[in-house]
Structure 1
Amino acid sequence: MVFTRLLGSLGVGGPTVDTVLPDWTAAPGGSVSGRVQLKGGSGDFEIEQITLELVARVEAEHDDGESHGTVAFDRFVVGGGFRLVAGAEHSVPFTVTLPWETPITELYGQPLGIALGVRTELAVAGAKDKGDLDQLAVGPLPVQEAILEAFGQLGFGFTSADLEYGHIGGTGQRLPFYQEIELAPPARYAHAVNEIELTFLASPEGVEVVLEADKRGGLFSGGHDALTRFTVSHEDAGRQDWNAVVDGWVRELVEHPGAPHAGHEPHYAYEHDGGGHRSGPGVGTAVAAGAAGLAVGVVGGMVAAEVVDEVGDFFEGDDEDEGGED
């Protein structure tokens, strides 16, 4: 897409930019290659620096409720130091490596409602301008997909996914936010939990899997949250009985009387009252369990309209509120 907002800071007749990303799905910790295409304006310009930012739409919870903001979580200088003459075209190829904790935006080719993108910043003659966003598609690592597949085989259904600002205590988390994938339990667990929230924290060595259960209250006790954490290696993806492994995780989480799980700090960035839970942009999407595992589908005639609307607003609207709130 052409960054028309460059006209604002560089004046009418300034250069325009189109950042081209691959049409395939990237993976956490993997590389993304593309090119930044520039077209000269009515005069010559010194292109001092071309920078790519990875940005995400993140939710924050605080005393006054919830808010959303744009967070940049990585930055790459991919070019610069040349003159772009009037009317000339110039292409700058690039290859960047995604952080291992980059959120998953889709599963089996279907969107999860996560707004993630690449924003291009052009520094020209002492002025900087941030253009529109290009959407970035990220799929799960093999071990992440195996775990999600197992949840689906066990009867769990996808309800939503979002990005939460804050840090999960006791983990090796590096980004300023983490992803939560919210799953509805099958009948055999529905009496004990309202939902289970799944977080992946990947690294070169493996993946930390954080599970949090919104546990139902009993006759003489209120509901509460229970949390547990496991670590798996990337090599385990194809050599584990993941249905059995994940079922064991869930049983441990559901049957454990405490909250959170012993030895782990609560992973909330903000205080919660144990009542209503966070809801991400994918409320209108459901992932139905079946022979194919977690396959994004349709429930009650509702498709991912809310996902499309919210993600679309992020990429089409004014995103210069980096780190801010709506």
Structure 2
Amino acid sequence: MVFKRLLGSLGVGGPTVDTVLDPGPVLPGGALNGQVHLRGGDADFTIEHITLELVARVEAEHDGGESEGAIVFDRFTVGGSFRLAAGEAHSVPFSVMLPWETPITELYGQPLGIVLGVRTELAVAGAKDKGDLDQLAVRPLPAQEAILEALGQLGFGFKSADLELGRIGGTGQQLPFYQEIELAPAPQYAHQVNEIEVTFLAGPAGMEVVLEADKRGGLFSAGHDAVSRFTVSHHGVEQINWHAEVDGWIRQMIEHRASHGSLGSYGHGEPHHGGHYGHGDPYATHAYKDEHGHGGHHHGDGHGHRSGPGMGTAIAAGAAGLAVGVVGGMVAAEVVDEVGDFFEGDDEEEGGED
């Protein structure tokens, strides 16, 4: 194992750290397991604390346009208060629970273009330094996968996925951002809508599903957005005919001319009554490029989302349900490059004080 050297405030010759996550994707609300490997430096040090930060790349919209940056959406202290001798190897195992609203980054093993990372902060002798980001892979919960598969079976196609800074009014959202999965309309709806956006807001008891349709205008009417919210339970997922259920959601949303930003509660499961879905830690921003856009941004403001290279995977209906494929080798490479650039850029920023 090659240890990643911590420079900056700790200086050359200080302890080094390497965080290794258990292989495979994790679930929202599930356990993230791994080990923090430490190597002592040129002298003895007291490790005051080892903290893991969950970091996401998010987009923010504001009067000046759109900006991107990294946001820390949870923190966990996993160790500390021990002496690390010079040259000593020491490992700290950890198991922490991810927030239920943690975005999904892949579907059937294919990346969606969402970038999440785990960053390790080491506090030694009153100084703090952050190690490299380790990429975090998150797969969908059974209900999320069933809904996306049903959309694929209905003929909807994947366009892009991103994380938007802001909150969706009328929901139990806990994180300071939400995930939007943008879908091209199925042929039977193409004359009515330009695209569909899906947002999952999961919690311990169930999940809110927020659907937004960009409805086409008619000969004598302008286009507008229709927004609806449905609730589902984590239990009995396999007993539901999701093809019929989701088709009913889409029809209800399109046919019911919901007002801009108006959310109704329909569907299965217990409605959310304002319980706390996430963790109690305060959410701190980090390395954000623009301070605008922290207000009450919500679905349905008519803006266009970036769906260009780097976000490109495709969801198509197949005999086995929803199949995810990368649109050509070039786009696949761009997805990898974009993810890599995010982590490398963050490392450079962290090391800028050297």
Which residue pairs with 2:269 in the alignment?
Answer: none
Distance 2:334 2:121 in 1: 29
Partner SS, residue 58 of structure 2: strand
Contact 2:230 2:264 in 1 (8 A): no
Contact 1:151 1:293 in 2 (8 A): no
Corresponding position: 1:252 with 2:248 = no
Of residues 267, 271, 276, the one that matches 2:304 is 276
Distance 1:255 1:306 in 2: 38
Which residue pairs with 1:95 in the alignment?
Answer: 95
- Mean alpha-carbon deviation: is it higher for 212-221 or for 98-107? 212-221
Contact 1:158 1:294 in 2 (8 A): no
Deviation at 1:258, TM superposition (A): 3.4
User: 1:95–1:301: structure 2 CA closer, same or farther, 3 Å change rule?
Assistant: closer
Percent same amino acid among aligned pairs?
Answer: 74
User: 1:319–1:280: structure 2 CA closer, same or farther, 3 Å change rule?
Assistant: farther
Q: Note the residue ranges of structure 1 that are not aligned, 5 or more in a row.
A: none
Of residues 332, 343, 353, the one that matches 1:315 is 343
User: 1:215–1:305: structure 2 CA closer, same or farther, 3 Å change rule?
Assistant: farther
Distance 2:235 2:13 in 1: 53
Deviation at 1:187, TM superposition (A): 1.1
Distance 2:298 2:251 in 1: 27
Distance 1:271 1:158 in 2: 18
Corresponding position: 1:77 with 2:77 = yes
Spell out, residue by residue over 1:196-217, the C-alpha distance to the aligned partner (whole angstroms, 9 max, x if none). Answer: 0000000011010000011111
Partner SS, residue 304 of structure 1: helix
Partner SS, residue 55 of structure 2: strand
Which residue pairs with 1:26 in the alignment?
Answer: 26
Distance 1:214 1:301 in 2: 30
Which residue pairs with 2:42 in the alignment?
Answer: 42
Deviation at 1:290, TM superposition (A): 1.3
- 1:151-162 aligned at under 5 Å gives the runs 151-162=151-162
Corresponding position: 1:3 with 2:4 = yes
Partner SS, residue 36 of structure 1: strand
Which residue pairs with 2:52 in the alignment?
Answer: 52
Matched letter for residue 305 of structure 1:
A
- 1:94-133 aligned at under 5 Å gives the runs 94-133=94-133
Which residue pairs with 1:66 in the alignment?
Answer: 66
Matched letter for residue 40 of structure 1:
G
User: 1:119–1:280: structure 2 CA closer, same or farther, 3 Å change rule?
Assistant: farther
Partner SS, residue 83 of structure 1: strand
Distance 1:147 1:244 in 2: 11
Deviation at 1:8, TM superposition (A): 2.0
Distance 1:9 1:261 in 2: 47
Matched letter for residue 49 of structure 1:
H
Contact 1:48 1:81 in 2 (8 A): yes
Which residue pairs with 1:150 in the alignment?
Answer: 150
Distance 1:255 1:319 in 2: 49
Distance 1:212 1:319 in 2: 36
Deviation at 1:270, TM superposition (A): 6.4
Deviation at 1:257, TM superposition (A): 2.2
Deviation at 1:284, TM superposition (A): 2.3
Q: Note the residue ranges of structure 2 that are not aligned, 5 or more in a row.
A: 266-294
User: 1:181–1:282: structure 2 CA closer, same or farther, 3 Å change rule?
Assistant: farther
Contact 2:58 2:165 in 1 (8 A): yes
Which residue pairs with 1:229 in the alignment?
Answer: 229
Distance 2:160 2:153 in 1: 18
* RMSD, aligned α-carbons: 2.3
User: 1:210–1:321: structure 2 CA closer, same or farther, 3 Å change rule?
Assistant: farther
Contact 1:70 1:319 in 2 (8 A): no
Spell out, residue by residue over 1:121-155, the C-alpha distance to the aligned partner (whole angstroms, 9 max, x if none). Answer: 00000000011100111101111111111011111
Corresponding position: 1:288 with 2:289 = no
Distance 2:196 2:296 in 1: 15
User: 1:270–1:173: structure 2 CA closer, same or farther, 3 Å change rule?
Assistant: closer
Contact 2:200 2:210 in 1 (8 A): yes
Contact 2:225 2:260 in 1 (8 A): yes
Partner SS, residue 43 of structure 1: coil
User: 1:284–1:171: structure 2 CA closer, same or farther, 3 Å change rule?
Assistant: same
Spell out, residue by residue over 1:74-101, the C-alpha distance to the aligned partner (whole angstroms, 9 max, x if none). Answer: 1100001111111110000110000100
Distance 1:240 1:269 in 2: 33
Contact 2:19 2:34 in 1 (8 A): yes
Matched letter for residue 106 of structure 1:
E
